[in-house]
Structure 1
Amino acid sequence: MSLRRLTAIVVVVVLIGLGVFFAFLLGAIASTGGTARIDVTHFGERWIEYLVMVALTATTPYALYYLTESSE
Structure 2
Amino acid sequence: MTDIMDAMWARVDEGFYVGSRDGSFLGCIDALPDGRFVALDAHTRPISTHARLDDAMQAVVSFEQSEGSE
TM bracket, shorter-chain basis: under 0.3
Greater length-normalized contact order (CA 8 Å, ≥ 6 residues apart): 1
- TM-score, with structure 2 as normaliser: 0.27
Report which of the two structures shows the higher radius of gyration computed on alpha carbons: 1
More strand by share: 2
